[in-house]
A and B are shown apart, each in its own frame.
Chain A
């Protein structure tokens, strides 16, 4: 009788202990999975930032646009670099330079632990060392109604809160100016002679920036016979893959107003009536003429020739040529203008930027 009682008692205690241990184990497992899901989300965010494609630099601000991660299959899960679960998320652009990356980590199945994490990011443009609105490795010759300013100004129709110290108007090894009543060179100083021994360093600085930008150009074309370029959009989205879409230089609020492509032209190029923005890199010599509007950077591997022949000609940003620069405008034409603009330079460089977390309070966790 007592043996029977003892057996019943022992069985009951074993059953309770097993049930408690089993439940505790399950709860611990879930709590551990929840903790690990945070690290999976964080690892996924780090991987997204590390592998930041330049196409992310052109998405339209939220709520017009957002990018799913992975973009080709938003409902599937990516494996983080160190394994341990899966992650996916969305990327939202808040303004020109700020993004919100939201990732969700998942650990366990079939009822997984999930944790969502937000990271505030900013674009970090490559370093540039602009010293003049127009810089030439050789000589600079300025003739006629040419107005060059190294004083920082925002492109017309832009609202721009960036202000920079004044740069030189023109910097070159030798500078020739044939003055006219309406010609003007301003800056600090208006003209700056680069000593021959200083030229290699300057050319190296521009070459380094050129190499960074050309690591992933948006458009690459032969310099000879460039077709007519104009902004192309589909609804509220800018069609950034169209090679003749060089951004909308005149309407910053338009779908392509935030598109600053890196355009690579091989060989020499003569561009007539060009309107665009971003960075224009020409391997050889470049000639610009006709109605011209450019917001951003222009780099020529050879000589640079700007001809003002009547209609408006305005370049906002910075220009550099490894060879000589010639700027000439007819006396009866609209002035040919080159104006340094930090905003235009910075926005152009955003296209080649990588993203980094904000220095302070980048992490967001919500429940």
Chain B
């Protein structure tokens, strides 16, 4: 028969052990809670930073290409800006008129040279470069047209394998001079786009949104601080604020992120300030 030689624990020892375990577990839970809260705040802060950085990379690229003196900017306000958003680029390699009076051009799509896929599409607005007197640049201009139809197209005499795809565009235009555009002339497609501060009806928070030519608004950056989450300021060549669209040479953008509540209850917010010199016009 086996003899019990090992000693058990007393009730008092058990109670003390349980109490100690409880204290240790409570402490561990507390650590976990604090760490988790801190982690969440960090993630929130990183998210806010990322959002602001997105604005810092998108808006300057859009703004730099504009020529405000030739209608690339539309309505301006402290909380919104309407502009032509350029998104496709090519060069004419053939030009003709169709039976219905439309202008039919074949275009070599050059956006691929930038490593970006892209395609002209029916409904796009386009600007076609027009060289007046080839010996001077002061009379150069861009004529506007609308794409009504696209088809596959080939540039005449293209015996070499084309490094850029080609496409045929049917254009309507009120600009009769476009019929005399020179071969090789650049063509750029754009969409009228508004960047504006708005309050989302779903979560009641403020965002910088993008609305492209009649479509619904989509959030681009946010949530933001509030009704003062975005401020656009426009300057002329002398650096003074201007409300004249054609005189704008620089755009300042101030974006304030959503408030972040610290442990002590104080709220702070991150912001980003951009100054973009518009480069679309050279004198």
Which residues of A are in contact with B by a Cβ distance under 8 Å?
1-2, 5, 8-9, 12-13, 16-17, 20, 23-24, 27-28, 31, 34-35, 38, 61-64, 90, 92, 94-98, 100, 102, 116, 118, 120, 122, 124-125, 161-162, 236, 342, 346, 349, 356-367
Taking the nearest CB of chain B, how far is it from the CB of A48, in angstroms?
16
- A360 vs B184: C-alpha distance in the bound complex, in angstroms? 17
Tell which of B50, B134, B279 has the most Cβ of chain A within 10 Å.
B134
Q: Does B53 contact A24, Cβ atoms closer than 8 Å?
A: no
Q: Is the CB of B135 within 8 A of A349?
A: yes
Check A162 against B86 for contact (C-beta < 8 Å).
Answer: no
Is B138 engaged at the interface, CB distance under 8 Å to the other chain? yes
Nearest CB in chain B to that of A164: its residue:
B133
Q: Which of the residues B38, B67, B183 comes within 8 Å of A361, measured between beta carbons?
A: B67
CB-defined contacts of B283 to chain A, threshold 8 Å: 359
Asked whether, in the complex, the Cβ of B282 is within 8 Å of the Cβ of A94, the reply is no
Which of B108-116, B211-219, B241-249 lies at the interface with chain A?
B108-116
Give bound CA distance, A236 to B49, whole Å. Answer: 53
The answer to whether A95 touches B185 (Cβ under 8 A) is: yes
What's the count of A-B pairs with C-beta under 8 Å? 160
Secondary structure type dominating chain B contacts: mixed
Contact A361 B137 (CB under 8 A): no
Q: Which residue of A lies closest to B70 (CB)?
A: A360
Do B39 and A356 touch across chains, with their CB atoms under 8 A apart?
Answer: no
- In the assembled complex, the Cα of A366 lies from the Cα of B188 at a distance in Å of 12
Q: Which residue of A lies closest to B274 (CB)?
A: A35
Decide yes or no: A342 and B135 within 8 Å by CB, A34-B57, A95-B183, A98-B186 being known contacts: yes
Closest 8 CB pairs of A and B: A95-B184, A366-B114, A94-B184, A5-B27, A366-B116, A20-B42, A346-B135, A365-B61
Residues of B with C-beta under 8 A to A5: 27, 30-31
**Contacting chain A: which of B158-166, B229-237, B251-259?**
B158-166
**A-side contacts of B134, CB under 8 Å:** 96-97, 161-162, 346
List 22 interface pairs A-B (beta carbons < 8 Å), by A numbering. Answer: A1-B27, A23-B46, A24-B46, A24-B49, A35-B57, A61-B184, A62-B163, A63-B162, A63-B164, A94-B185, A96-B184, A100-B186, A120-B129, A124-B137, A358-B282, A360-B140, A360-B281, A360-B282, A362-B280, A363-B64, A366-B118, A367-B61
Chain A residues with Cβ under 8 A from B72's Cβ? 361
Q: How far is the CA of A24 from the CA of B129 in the complex (A)?
A: 44
Q: How far is the CA of A102 from the CA of B164 in the complex (A)?
A: 14
Given A27-B49, A63-B160, A97-B131: A364 in contact with B65 (beta carbons within 8 A): yes
Structural contact, A31 and B46, CB atoms closer than 8 A: no
- A161 touching B70, Cβ below 8 Å: no
Which B residues fall within an 8 A CB radius of A? 20, 23-24, 27, 30-31, 34-35, 38-39, 42, 45-46, 49-50, 53, 56-57, 60-61, 64-67, 69-70, 72, 86, 89, 91, 108, 110-111, 113-116, 118, 127, 129, 131, 133-135, 137-138, 140-142, 158, 160, 162-164, 180, 182-186, 188, 279-283
Q: A13-B38, A361-B188, A367-B116 are in contact. Are A122 and B135 (CB under 8 A)?
A: no
Flag if A16 contacts B35 (CB, 8 Å). yes
Using CB atoms, name the residue of chain A closest to B283: A359
Question: What is the CB-to-nearest-CB distance from A4 to chain B, in angstroms, rounded to a whole number?
Answer: 8
CB distance from A191 to the nearest CB of B (A): 26
What residues of chain B lie closer than 8 Å to A13, measured between beta carbons?
Answer: 34-35, 38
Complex Cα distance A94/B184, Å? 5
- Name B35's closest neighbour in chain A (CB-CB): A12
Chain B residues with CB below 8 A from A2, complex form:
27
Nearest-CB residue, chain A, relative to B118: A366
Asked whether A94 lies within 8 Å of B186 as measured between CB atoms, the reply is: yes
With A98-B185, A100-B110: A31-B57 Cβ-Cβ less than 8 Å: yes
Known A27-B50, A100-B91, A358-B140; 20 more pairs at CB < 8 Å: A5-B30, A8-B27, A9-B30, A9-B35, A13-B38, A17-B38, A23-B46, A24-B46, A31-B53, A62-B108, A63-B162, A92-B110, A95-B185, A97-B134, A116-B114, A118-B89, A342-B135, A360-B280, A363-B280, A364-B89
Which of B111, B135, B185 has most A Cβ within 10 Å?
B135
B111 & A366 in contact (Cβ 8 Å cutoff): yes
CA distance A342 to B56 in the complex (A): 48
User: Chain B residues near A94 (CB, 8 Å)?
Assistant: 91, 184-186
Is A118 within 8 A of B46, CB to CB? no
Partner of A118 from B35, B69, B113 at Cβ < 8 Å: B113
